[in-house]
Amino acid sequence: MEDRCPVSDADTAITVLGPAKIPSPLPYCRFDDDTARVRLELDASDFGPGRGPCLADFELAGPRGRIYFDSSKVKVAIVTCGGLCPGLNDVIRAIVMECHHNYHVAGVLGIRFGLQGFIESYGHAPMELTPQSVSDIHQFGGTMLGSSRGPQKPEDIVDSLERLNVGILFVIGGDGTMKAARRIQEEIARRRSKISVIGVPKTIDNDVNLVTKSFGFDTAVEKATEAIRCAHTEAIGALNGVGVVKVMGRESGFIAAQATLALKEVNYVLVPECSFTLNGERGLLPSLEARLRARKHAVIVVAEGAGQNLLPDTGARDASGNPVLGDIAQYLCGEIEAYFRDRQMPLTLKFIDPSYIIRSVPANANDRVYCGFLGQNAVHAAMAGKTGMVVSRLFDRYVHLPLDLVTLKRKKLNIFSDYWRSVLESTGQHEVTPFTDAPVVFCPA
């Protein structure tokens, strides 16, 4: 296959602080070499505006035979940023256990309440993390360190790292947090300091570029299906019952799509990547009317970022700089009720929003395993002196990804893919007209 990838080996190369000369203290003999690469077929759109197959080489994750830091002297810090996500505590625990039991580091600090914890004026003193203090945290949702949103000056953060004598910083967060990690690493490089910055991508929306699946996503989908099942039960329990379930997904509808595939009771799924209309021949409301006349019930799953073109721009932004979304679910419910009221057609509508339940629960078994691998591989990379990168799984391989590539864009559903076609076949919605901006065609299947 012709390699039409718009990135070169230089673009996927991982920065190192210096030569790794110290024999690894790990108590086993299988190590990976920095020259070990894995060639993966992606899509050129992952790296920019291109389209078509793309073969790119990535550095394999894993322990190295020689490390950069003297593990008995290096101090480590961990920070969690952004919204909550199942598995945060699992990643923290994995990093702490790997650092203490296998590398025997000098100490691990937990930075409280996100990047604010680096700024003295906030008064969030770091906490020492030990195997004893993290032994049970995987049983609970959220993050034991707390979190926050909002930018902090990279100069102030690096000042704090130097005062604390931190040699390795693990940053756990989403797209915005990875951009902050890149700025921190750039400031460290400008000062020629020897501090490693390793990111562990976290997003319940599964929208980090090049990351096949982010931790917590499996758990989120599992919990979303529980809410959808309840909505279906409510819908079939009343004449013309309609269950509306709102799930997370500001710009990417992966939770809505995956939960729809997992539970076949969904009749309509609305995602940010695919526009739709409410009225007219191609509209949701006439299709819903036909559905109710034929089947007497319906279930609608809507991602929080869907249908924003139907709502007025709020003009507001949150602490992370993201636009504050209009409430599409409440708007949709109001439009549905008004539509059927005008037609004097009986309707029972139930609205369920499980968003904060979904993101606050402990990780399920699959996500716990995944978090363990991410934490361990993040420590291996850091101890080898790597920096400016994230550790992630691409398909079935754990690799090192440069922060520049990860922060290039947000990952979104490909609405021309076989995956999205399967979603539409599951719901009974017609497909989007290929390679046009035409909205979804709804049908009363």
Q: What is the SS3 assignment for 270?
A: strand
Residues 178 and 162 in one domain: yes
Helix (H) or strand (E) holding 22: strand 22-23
> 364 — phi, psi (to 5°)?
-80, 180
d(CA 355, CA 412): 19
Number of compact structural domains in the chain: 2
* pLDDT recorded at residue 281: 84
Residues 261 and 120 in one domain: no
Give alpha helix (H) positions in 203-318. 217-236, 254-262, 284-295
Residues 242 and 109 in one domain: no
Q: Is 4 within a domain?
A: no
d(CA 1, CA 173): 36
* pLDDT recorded at residue 272: 95
Residues 239 and 328 in one domain: yes
d(CA 335, CA 301): 15
Helix axes 418-427, 254-262, angle to 10 degrees: 50
128 with 71: CB under 8 angstroms? no
Q: Is 134 within a domain?
A: yes
pLDDT tens string 128-168: 999 999 999 999 999 999 999 888 999 999 999 999 999 99
Residue 290 pLDDT grade (very low, low, confident, very high; cuts 50, 70, 90): very high
pLDDT at 441 over 90: no
Mean pLDDT for the stretch of residues 332-354? 97
Q: CA angle, 198 as apex, 194 and 201 as ends, to 5°?
A: 165
Give alpha helix (H) positions in 296-441. 328-342, 355-360, 365-383, 403-406, 418-427
158 with 188: CB under 8 angstroms? yes
- Strand 348-352 relative to strand 397-402, pairing: unpaired
pLDDT tens string 298-334: 999 999 999 999 998 877 877 667 778 889 999 999 9
Q: Is 442 within a domain?
A: no
Residues 262 and 374 in one domain: no
Q: Is 435 within a domain?
A: no
What pTM does this model have?
0.92
Residues 185 and 208 in one domain: yes
Residues 196 and 338 in one domain: no
185 with 157: CB under 8 angstroms? no
Mean pLDDT over each residue of the chain, to the nearest integer = 91
224 with 354: CB under 8 angstroms? yes
205 included as an active-site residue: yes
Residue 3 pLDDT grade (very low, low, confident, very high; cuts 50, 70, 90): very low
What CATH number corresponds to the domain at position 235? 3.40.50.460
Residues 165 and 278 in one domain: no
* pLDDT recorded at residue 439: 53
pLDDT tens string 378-430: 999 999 999 999 999 988 899 999 999 999 888 999 888 899 999 999 998 86
From the list 175, 205, 207, 353, the catalytic residue is: 205
Q: Is 193 within a domain?
A: yes
Residues 165 and 141 in one domain: yes
Residues 284 and 381 in one domain: no
- Among 138, 149, 64, 163, which Cα is nearest to 113's? 149
Residues 270 and 168 in one domain: no
Residues 294 and 381 in one domain: no
Residue 28 pLDDT grade (very low, low, confident, very high; cuts 50, 70, 90): confident
Q: What is the SS3 assignment for 149?
A: coil
What CATH number corresponds to the domain at position 29? 3.40.50.450
Q: Is 37 within a domain?
A: yes
pLDDT tens string 260-285: 999 889 999 999 999 899 998 889 99
d(CA 242, CA 221): 21
Q: Is 47 within a domain?
A: yes
Residue 169 pLDDT grade (very low, low, confident, very high; cuts 50, 70, 90): very high
Indicate the range of 37-46, 55-64, 132-141, 400-409 predicted with least confidence.
Answer: 37-46
Domain residue limits at 400: 9-214+363-406
Q: How far is CA 20 from the centre of its chain?
A: 32
Q: Is 433 within a domain?
A: no
